Chain A
Amino acid sequence: MFESLSTRLQDVFRNIRGEARLTEETVELALREIRMALLEADVNFKVVRAFIDRVRDRAVDQDVLKSLTPDQQVVRIVRDEMLALFGDAQGGLPTSAQRPRVIMLLGLQGSGKTTTSAKLGRWLAKQGRHPLLVSTDVRRPAAIEQLSMVGKQAGVKVYDPAGQLDPVARASGALVEAKNSGFDVVIVDTAGRLHIDDQLMGELQAIKGAVQPADQLFVADAMTGQDAIKSAGEFNRRIGVTGVVLTKMDGDARGGAALSVVSVVGVPIAFVGSGERLQDLEPFHADRVVSRVLGMGDVLSLIERAEEAVSQADAEKLEKKIRLDDFTLEDFRDQLRTIRKMGPLEQIIGMLPGMGAIKELKQQREQVDDKQLLRVEAIINSMTPKERRNHQLINGQRRKRIAKGSGTTVEEVNRLLKQFIQMKKMLKAMGGMAGLGKGKRPNLSALKGLMR
């Protein structure tokens, strides 16, 4: 149901290829699809309305560029406008002279504040800072304990004055402790609260008054729907928000709320939370979220992971092999191992264009779950080195032997060989595209081309 915007637009423009201009009628048709796509991605309907008007203004009567099909051109306008909405704000934290720098996290119940506090502590420690964590959540059962545990997991010191149940005193105590003991950042976790709860919003105000944070980060769930602008707007109006952390982006939520919050509340997105593990926090990149809202997958994050998993030497070797059409089953096996190193396969697939949210995903996943990768590996392991280097040797007799040796069936061996041959063809066609891991993200345009 969540087709990517490009697929939808391709359908709209299918019949009007070859026109020299984008006419009003065709643009209207396209705008209808864009509206639908944005609403399905949970962009607030008011934001959608304004956005559509802007795209209309830019698209109508534009010359169709020679280099692009009309649908590509409209997608580009949509992307550009969306990116413009995010401005050129950089992810991460702005510089601040405050020492210790106080960072307060706030937001609705269950959005991920406590987890993000620890993630942020870890992230700052990696940058050479000395953060101190403190919980001011005296209401939720075991909230203080939760922060102590995740803080410990993150290797970050937690300030926890036993028996102190006043949120303001806990926060100011941490500030004093930081000054005395040489911590240069204090991260203040707060209890979840509703933006319409006067009493608790007052409490937040009091904490803020006591510790004067440089950063007030609003932690928002990426799955949030239309209500996002109300809650974020109220937190901003009453307390002030300097940046947003968008959590739970590891699922298949499109994250349209990000767009709403940025355009209505006018604050930048600082970080994205992409998992429950404490390393799953990344500075925000507008282009990635835009791709995602438009249903085009998070290819850049995928590339980064690949860069982490593949050594440069390996990548160069592989690239050469592909160029020389010398890609063997052995290389194939290495690739499979690399994929497994990149993380759970389900997560990787989620980043691929068009794979994130579609219904077919379930079947796709079943075809390629991690166990299946192991079976494929077992099949390749049961081949002789000669066979691995030259798949054409593998006749019917050998297939039977391989199936038996790997505890699989001849059909599975056949399927694998067929897939391998297809892959070889595809690699050849894509030329040097496999040049991942060179640190400079080569061939991005080739990948982007595939996204279209």
Chain B
Amino acid sequence: MGFFDKIKKSLSRTKEQFVERFDEIVRGAEGPAERSRPVDLETLDALEEALISADVGVAAADRIVSAVRQRRTRGESLRDLVKGEILSILRAAEQPASNGKTPHVVLIVGVNGTGKTTTVGKLARFIKEAGKTPLICAADTFRAAAVEQLQVWATRAGVDFIRAKSGADPAAVVFDAIAAGKARGRDVVIVDTAGRLHTRVNLMAELEKIRRIASREIEGAPHEVLLVLDATVGQNGLNQAREFMGVAGVNGIVLTKLDGTAKGGIAVAIAHDLKLPIRYVGVGEGIDDLVPFSPEEYVNALFEEKW
């Protein structure tokens, strides 16, 4: 099941429709007569606003709109052009996840409250269902009850769990988890880290240390560093991505809470500016609510009327 279907199924929703403005716009601009004319200014403005309202951002929205303006020739659908433009941005950022020696180490990072711990639980289940043996490492030794929270997820997912005392050095826990992963022959070590704002230099340096330790223990580790972005995030998401990429070596994004009304459009701007691919999307609070990202489905969801 793709994530769009999953979103539709996951909740009993309000009957209220959040009709997106884009649909109004395209309906007005898709008639046979309109299609044969160049796109008028008003339509382009409205188009820009539709993208902005999805949090794509002014700069990226302008780029998309001007690309569409240049490309539109007779008879083409405006909607398809915009979709195509965004698809090509997302596709250009795609890259295969790196492989290396096992255990494969996946580091989960991000600002506070985006859904890291929940994603770790879901990802463990996802990997396990793919026939591999994950191990979860609790490296958030700071936030109240973070370890207890993750413990519940590890139990739900039915996977090994390595924890340390609250207040312990996170890098030391990661070291222990990798050692345990090696000793037990696990395929993947998934590391949950404490939420931290990208502006906190000291806390960011802690991630650098975790990386250093991981790479010393296993060649090429951490193989994946996933930045968890909340779909409701606005333009600050770009700062987050830039900083976490620079310090923590982020090489992919998990876009959570897409089951809400926010579209996570900043991920498009991030894909464009930083060539960071979206790897997974979170579509609920259940353990199965994590789906691999598909650019096609995302673009459709971006422009679908909300049911």
Contacts and interface: CB of A to CB of B under 8 A. Distances in A.
Report if A and B associate in a common complex: yes
Interface in B185-221: 197-202
B260 A40 contact: no
Contacts of B145: 142-143, 145-146, 149
Contact of A226 (B18, B54, B144, B243): B54
A108 B149 contact: no
A123 B83 CA distance: 49
20 contacts: A40-B57, A108-B232, A109-B115, A141-B153, A194-B260, A195-B261, A196-B260, A197-B12, A223-B236, A224-B232, A225-B237, A227-B232, A227-B263, A231-B232, A231-B260, A248-B112, A256-B234, A362-B246, A365-B201, A369-B201
Nearest to A199: B12
Interface of A: 1, 36, 39-42, 44-45, 108-112, 139-143, 145-146, 149-150, 153, 194-199, 201, 221, 223-228, 230-231, 248, 250-254, 256-257, 276, 344, 346-347, 350, 357, 361-362, 365, 369-370
Contact of B197 (A146, A153, A251): A251
A250 B197 contact: yes
A248 B202 contact: no
Interface of B: 11-14, 16, 18, 49, 52-55, 57-59, 111-115, 142-146, 148-153, 197-202, 230-237, 239, 243, 246, 257, 259-263, 265-266, 285
A40 B232 contact: no
A226 B237 CA distance: 13
Contacts of A221: 113, 230, 232-233
B239 A248 contact: no
Contact of B111 (A195, A251, A362): A251
B235 to A, nearest CB: 5
Nearest to A250: B197
Contacts of B261: 194-196, 227, 230-231
Contacts of B259: 194
Contacts of B13: 196-198
A194 B201 contact: no
Contacts of B260: 108, 194-196, 227, 231
A197 to B, nearest CB: 5
Contact of A346 (B55, B142, B199, B246): B199
A111 B49 contact: no
A392 B200 CA distance: 38
Nearest to B53: A226
A227 B149 contact: no
A146 B53 CA distance: 35
Contacts of B153: 141
Central interface residue in A109, A223, A256, A361, by most chain B CB within 10 Å: A223
A365 B202 CA distance: 11
Contacts of B18: 230
Given A145-B145, A197-B11, A45 B230 contact: no
Contacts of A195: 260-261
B202 A344 contact: yes
A225 B112 contact: no
A326 B285 CA distance: 63
A42 B257 contact: no
A112 B113 contact: yes
Given A150-B144, A226-B54, A248 B262 contact: no
B125 to A, nearest CB: 14
A194 B12 CA distance: 11
B204 to A, nearest CB: 9
Contacts of A36: 58
Contact of A223 (B11, B58, B148, B233): B233
A194 to B, nearest CB: 5
A400 B262 CA distance: 60
Contacts of A357: 239
A251 B198 contact: yes
Contacts of B12: 197-199
Given A110-B114, A199-B12, A256-B234, A45 B49 contact: yes
A236 B197 CA distance: 29
Contacts of A143: 145, 149
